Amino acid sequence: MTVLAKPYLTDVDASVEQLVYVREDEYTVARMSSDGLAGFVASGRALAGVQPGETLRLAGEWEEHPRHGSRLVVRRCERVVPSTVRAITLYLGSGLIRGIGPRLAHAIVSHFGEQTLTVIDTEPERLTEVVNIGAARQAQIVHAWAEQKEVAALMVVLQGFGISPLLATKIYQVYGDGSRDVLTRDPYRLIGQVRGIAFHTADRIALRSGVPEHSPQRIQAAVLDRLETAAARDGHCFLPLPALLAAAASLVEQEEELIRRAVDALLAERRVVVETAPDGPGQVVYAKEQHGREVALAAHLARLLRARSTLPLRAFEEHKGLDEDQRAAVNLALTSTVSVLTGGPGCGKSYTVRVIAATVRAMGGTVTLTAPTGKAAKRLSELTRLPAMTVHRLLARQPEREEGTLFQQSPAEADLIVVDEASMLDLQLATRLTAAIPAGSHLLLVGDSDQLPSIGPGSVLADLLRVEEVPRIRLARVFRQAQDSGIVQAAHRIRAGELPALPGRGGFWFEELDDPDQVADRVVHLATEAIPRKQDIGRDQVQVLCPMRKGATGTAELGRRLQERLNPAREGTAEHWSGPSVFRVGDRVMPIRNNYDKGVFNGETATVTAVNPQDRLVEIRTDDGENVTYTFDELDELTHSYAISVHRSQGSEYPFVVAPIVAEAGGVMLRRRLLYTLVTRAKSWVVLVGQREALELAVHRLGYRRNTGLALRLALSLES
């Protein structure tokens, strides 16, 4: 990249016409317009958080990009009030002010000219002079204008702390007009209350506001952050006290004695729980919420295990198509109030569940089939030929009791509740589910214990299998129809710690490439061109799964490239940038948070059906047919699903899967369970592209065990 002979520009006012590209590190490329310059492209991290319609005062130098031509590399950026008629019209019509679209913006500016913003700010009642603006629309505009002014002021405050201005809207959503007061007086409140703000961000604000490095407030926040990070990143329910002291001390660069005092203070305030673990690690520390859930889950499971069955048992005809283990599983589910059915792919778990459910119904009992995600529930329904729902929907509302439905009472009160893909149950969801099940009902947990554990903290299925008193059956026989599947063969070899036969056959294929950039190119080509053309299928039948989020072969970069290939920007079509993500009609997306108000849950899949800049809304339609609306400020609850993590693919099955396997950043995510889960997500073919040594690393590296106390608590409860 070479510097042109053009002068260094200072204090040039220009309007943002369109965002071209936003990287995760906030490097931004935008098309700009200015009265003093022809349209030009500006780039740089100084543009972080800018939106189309804003007027910026820029300083920087011109550079010649080898691929994209001349652009202004911005070194300094300041938001200013637009002053020209064109800039004001662009600003008001961009969607920054909710309730004003391009047509209304033109009408307002045509009426008030260069005084438009002054009128809105100081004489807003005059807006009703404009055609099509009544009292309700005028009030909406005034409210949105005040909100936008406050957010803009908040951006300036954040920039003064060296914090991304992208967080301003999120902070304002939580604290409103009190946002600046929270920032300056108690920034550690932001942790856990504002999405995207962790300890490091709040700590930078606090230290620059004069909070002492050794203050109790800061040290306590660090302790809670380490517990939260251990839960969110590693799935731990607790940390051993020495590990917590060391981690918090390293985070704030203070002595461990200060950390110990902070733990004692948090214990006195009942914000943490300290226990002495009888099975080894000495004292352990829980966040209060995790401890409460673990204790409650153990109690609910013990209650269900001890209860007398209410299932209307009577003689039934054993199904002749079952093998010995499957017949044992049927008997176990009918006689045990809590039981576990496990096994790998091709071992007949779903067929066994179908027989169990049919047997209970034949005896006059009621059955609820459920799974943690919508796709898993749909697949369970297809395999068993019976209705199924997600656990979230089971808990969130009562289904309509139409004639012919599977049950006539609450689904949690059925005689038999079957939970498929039970390895996905985290501590919180399992606690809520078991709390809803009455004593005497039968709970059957079905899953593959060799798959990845839940995204959320806990290891519920694995913990239950460690308690001898919990009845269980493992199906080990691979049935004949599955024996010829290359996917099934590869999966069972991986589970046993053996490298699959390479390059593969019959549904499993490994293509060796060494360079991560070449791997990324090949994955994109396979997913968008080669496989759809060769198999004569739609591109939506191919799913890209990634072991990691970052790097050339991570979900972020591959997702961006796939989106540009499958759903590029189109002239005259609305789109909206939210951080480094751009949302367009036709995009494939998935919620990454449960939202009970909207009725959508983590892991569901959907398609963007509308992007409405005027009302600042994005509409999606889930694969279950539900229409859901998100405001622009809520879009961090959605992620694109062109390339997703293996964790987020749990419970789903795709006709064709393509995945990069490279040891970028040390390949920290490459572990046996992850690879096993990845391979078993494919129904027809899975194609792995990458380094043989990375594949070998994944096969031979075992995962870590999560810190949980559920197994011990349940065992002790059943002994007492």
The 10 Å Cβ neighbour count of residue 709 is 22
Three-state DSSP at 609 gives strand
DSSP-assigned states of every residue in 651-696: T--EEEEEEEE--GGGGTT--HHHHHHHHTTEEEEEEEEE-HHHHH
Taking the C-alpha atoms of residue 641 and residue 456, their distance in angstroms, rounded to an integer, is 19
> Known binder of ligand: residue 720?
no
Letter string b/e over residues 506-515, b meaning 16 or more CB atoms within 10 A of that residue's CB: ebbbbbebee
Both structure tokens of 408: 């006539």
Q: What is the pairing mode between strands 272-277 and 238-240? A: unpaired
Output the 3-class SS for 53-122: CCEEEEEEEEEEECCCEEEEEEEEEEEECCCCHHHHHHHHHCCCCCCCCHHHHHHHHHHHHHHHHHHHHH
Beta strands in 266-423 (DSSP E): 272-277, 282-287, 338-343, 367-371, 389-390, 416-419
Q: Report whether 688 contacts 659 (CB < 8 A).
A: yes
State the DSSP H helix or E strand holding residue 621, giving kind and residue range, or none if neither. strand 617-622
Both structure tokens of 632: 């622009």
- Sign of the Cα torsion 549, 551, 554, 556 reads positive
Q: At what angle do helices 241-252 and 216-234 cross, to 10 degrees?
A: 120
Length of the chain: 720
> Known binder of ligand: residue 210?
no
The 10 Å Cβ neighbour count of residue 183 is 24
SS3 content of the chain, % helix, strand, coil (to 5): 45, 20, 35
> Known binder of ligand: residue 348?
yes
- The CA-atom distances, in angstroms, between 469 and each of 190, 269, 705, 717 are 44, 36, 21, 11
Q: Report whether 469 contacts 305 (CB < 8 A).
A: yes
Radius of gyration of the CA atoms of the chain, in A: 28
Taking the C-alpha atoms of residue 169 and residue 513, their distance in angstroms, rounded to an integer, is 43
Q: Give the distance between the most distant pair of CA atoms in the chain.
A: 92
Taking the C-alpha atoms of residue 454 and residue 461, their distance in angstroms, rounded to an integer, is 9
Q: What is the pairing mode between strands 389-390 and 367-371? A: parallel
DSSP-assigned states of every residue in 151-189: HHHHHHHHHHTT--GGGHHHHHHHHGGGHHHHHHH-GGG
> Known binder of ligand: residue 346?
yes
> Known binder of ligand: residue 349?
yes
Binding residues, by number, are 346-350
Binding residues for ATP, by number, are 346-350
